[in-house]
Amino acid sequence: MQLHNKKVFITGCGGMLGNAIYPYFKARAPEILAIDIVIEQHEKDWLNYLDVREPEQLKKAFREFQPDLVLHLAALVDVERCEQDPADAESTNATSTRNIAELCEQNGVTMVYISTGGVFDGKKDGFYTEDDQPNPIMVYAQTKYDGELAVREVLKRHYIIRPGWMVGGGPNIDHKFVKLILQQIREGKKTIHAVTDKIGTPTYTHDFAMTLFALLETDKYGTYHMVGKGAGTRFDVAREIVDICGYSDEIKMVEVSSDYFTKDFPVPRPDNERLMNAGLEALGINKMRPWQVAIRDYIKREYADYCKR
């Protein structure tokens, strides 16, 4: 698909990934409809309100905007919240995805559904490829996987893409691990704890946006992993961030197990979320950089004032 004459509808566009994807598409596609559920906090005049749990609002958007391509990013990503309110998680992550897929099918629209590497149970000894069988172990992952199943069932012209641990958004939007570590650096913490029993692959939103373009141009529909190159534990990622910011000599890094954070993050995550971009490699379009390089780039761009050098 070439984007120069396409109308693109992006859901959840105020979030970490949407924040990186929007400028890329804006520069290439003539018309964008970007929506999110909370728009005030983002202070972006290009962001419109729409709740993807409301089928009538979705139908209206399709009728009035008539998209050629839908990028469905909107999701309830807070793992603990999904566990506490599984009905809302199902409605936001799975039912809305089915409804969007059906609208795409009825209107001849191509759909990109962003799933998660968290759909696997984490028991594999090695990197997951697109051929491995998902087996979600928590509500968030189950509802995202239900979304995958709906898309595959309803619509042929689809891409299902699984990122790893998301990195991006900058200080105002980032609400994930990298921000948590940078926040502690900013607060002057002298000791940072991070777990060694969870391994995965950070995924920088800008690399993701670039690679998504390359994939869309191929018209090779299907399921793809799209993660940074390599793998690391949460501890490895935290240590890398401290090093990038120039605080290795001042901050003591302490290795802990997930039990240490049970109070804040009670829902068990998969031990292994290592993914490999086998599908992208086969197409010769794997533009995802090693995660260490991507995180360095991200911190230098967005958090320079959190760092010493």
- Report the interface residues with ligand NAP, using CB under 6 A: 11-12, 14-18, 36-38, 51-53, 73-77, 92, 114, 116, 144, 163, 165-166, 176
Rounded to whole angstroms, the Cα distance separating 123 from 42 reads 38
Q: Which bin fits 70, alpha (ψ -120 to 50), beta or left (φ > 0)?
A: beta
C-beta closer to ligand NAP: residue 58 or 251:
58
Rounded to whole angstroms, the Cα distance separating 287 from 281 reads 9
Closest residue by beta carbon to ligand NAP = 15
> What does the block give as tokens for 231?
């793998």
Residue 35 CB coordination number (10 Å): 24
C-beta closer to ligand NAP: residue 167 or 251:
167
Find out whether 16 and 22 touch, Cβ atoms under 8 Å. Answer: no
CB of 153 to ligand NAP, least distance (A): 18
Tell me 94's DSSP state: I
CB neighbour list of residue 249: distance below 8 Å, 6 or more residues apart: none
Residue 94 CB coordination number (10 Å): 20
CB neighbour list of residue 152: distance below 8 Å, 6 or more residues apart: 158, 160
C-beta closer to ligand NAP: residue 169 or 251:
169
Find out whether 134 and 290 touch, Cβ atoms under 8 Å. Answer: no
Rounded to whole angstroms, the Cα distance separating 96 from 35 reads 14
Residue 58 CB coordination number (10 Å): 22
C-beta closer to ligand NAP: residue 15 or 134:
15
C-beta closer to ligand NAP: residue 203 or 251:
203
CB of 191 to ligand NAP, least distance (A): 25
C-beta closer to ligand NAP: residue 164 or 247:
164
CB of 165 to ligand NAP, least distance (A): 5
**The pairing of beta strand 69-72 with beta strand 7-11:** parallel
C-beta closer to ligand NAP: residue 251 or 289:
289
**The pairing of beta strand 232-233 with beta strand 199-200:** antiparallel
C-beta closer to ligand NAP: residue 100 or 192:
100
Find out whether 277 and 224 touch, Cβ atoms under 8 Å. Answer: yes
